Amino acid sequence: MKIVALAGGVGGSRLADGLARILPAGDLTVIVNTGDDFEHLGLHISPDLDTVCYTLAGIENLDKGWGRRDDTFNFLANLQRIGGPHWFSLGDRDLATHIERTRLLSEGKFLHQITKDFCIAWGIKQIVLPMSNDPVRTMVITDIDGMLPFQEYFVHRNCRPKVKGFRFDGGEIACPAPGVLEALAHSDAVVICPSNPWVSIDPILFMSGLKSSLAQKMVIAVSPIIAGNTIKGPAAKMYFELGIQPSALAVAHHYKNIISGFILDSLDKSLSPQIAVPVMATDIVMNSQEKRLRLAQDVLNFIQTL
């Protein structure tokens, strides 16, 4: 069964990792959001792509949800001492990824090729694709701070400004990266991982050709919201500020035109009757390797029942 997973950061990478531990390597393709990529210190940083790769390679930082395991922060300490912009934490090991990616991009290599080469170096056997080689930049429209680039909103301002909406600059002309539409076309099912629908999954779906290529597919989504809140990240806060009660129901509604099945947490089981597609209720918190694996198995079992 060939699976394509659409993923953002932590939640997406953990479900992708669970799937990777069950499926034959060639049967899983992970398409990763690049809408929150940004330029910082002259470097091209792809936070979601790195989180997915580090997680699949087993070298991710489990506590922080970003960066490398056992990393040091000596670069950042000196950067701060000499007055550089140190609001975005970059570990020493992690930094090599950004510097080498930037160097290769400046040589004319494409992001999907660089990602492939990094995956080989890190021993990742699954296919990881950036959603696009073209720049797509998620902008957060806020109440008093105006339009903010995503990392400015997310990291620098710690999600404090109230959200009024989103814009995916470049998204309307960005081409899906080579392999993205092909992987979708050849897939048996598409899994929308429990990532932020607004800023991790929507930028992927926004690209030309994406939604239409999902039209004939079995698509199931896993809720990133449990009992009205998120494990991590601002998804629930965003729903609330946009005037929508944050819930698994709101997520199912978010994806209503594309999904053929929906997975929510057992705590939200009572919402199932209000969702128009088949629903599976299970434990969707992935706070251990074992639970990643179990949710992935539930996802695959659910797909087979549809």
Judged by CB under 8 A, does residue 117 bind a copy of itself? yes
Which C-beta is closer to a copy of itself: that of 100 or that of 283? Answer: 100
Judged by CB under 8 A, does residue 97 bind a copy of itself? yes
Return d(Cα 8, Cα 159) in angstroms, integer.
Answer: 17
- HSE-up (13 A, CA, CB side) for residue 95: 15
Which C-beta is closer to a copy of itself: that of 105 or that of 293? Answer: 105
Which C-beta is closer to a copy of itself: that of 48 or that of 94? Answer: 94
Closest by CA position to 266, among listed 283, 252, 250: 283
Return d(Cα 96, Cα 196) in angstroms, integer.
Answer: 27
Structure tokens at 73: 């922060």
Cβ 31 to a copy of itself shortest distance, Å: 21
Which neighbouring-strand residues pair with 282?
265
- By CB under 8 A, the count of residues binding a copy of itself is 32
Query: How do 219-222 and 189-192 pair as beta strands?
Result: parallel
Which C-beta is closer to a copy of itself: that of 41 or that of 218? Answer: 41
Specify the DSSP element, H or E, that contains 225: strand 225-226
Rounded to 10°, the helix 111-121/47-57 angle is 20
Which C-beta is closer to a copy of itself: that of 68 or that of 112? Answer: 68
Judged by CB under 8 A, does residue 100 bind a copy of itself? yes
Which C-beta is closer to a copy of itself: that of 126 or that of 247? Answer: 126
Judged by CB under 8 A, does residue 305 bind a copy of itself? no
Closest by CA position to 9, among listed 27, 34, 28: 34
- Restricted to residues 37-96, the positions that interact with a copy of itself (CB under 8 A) are 41-43, 68, 71-72, 74-79, 81-84, 91-96
With CB under 8 A as the contact rule, the residue among 1, 103, 165, 211 that binds a copy of itself is 103
- HSE-up (13 A, CA, CB side) for residue 98: 23
Beta carbons within 10 angstroms of residue 166's beta carbon: 20
The rounded radius of gyration (Å) of the Cα atoms in the chain is 18
- Restricted to residues 118-137, the positions that interact with a copy of itself (CB under 8 A) are 118, 121-122
Judged by CB under 8 A, does residue 112 bind a copy of itself? no
DSSP string, 107-132: TT--HHHHHHHHHHHTT--SEEEESB
Judged by CB under 8 A, does residue 285 bind a copy of itself? no
With CB under 8 A as the contact rule, the residue among 63, 106, 108, 305 that binds a copy of itself is 106
Cβ 24 to a copy of itself shortest distance, Å: 25
Cβ 95 to a copy of itself shortest distance, Å: 5
Cβ 83 to a copy of itself shortest distance, Å: 6
Task: Report the interface residues with a copy of itself, using CB under 8 A.
Answer: 41-43, 68, 71-72, 74-79, 81-84, 91-97, 99-100, 102-103, 106, 117-118, 121-122
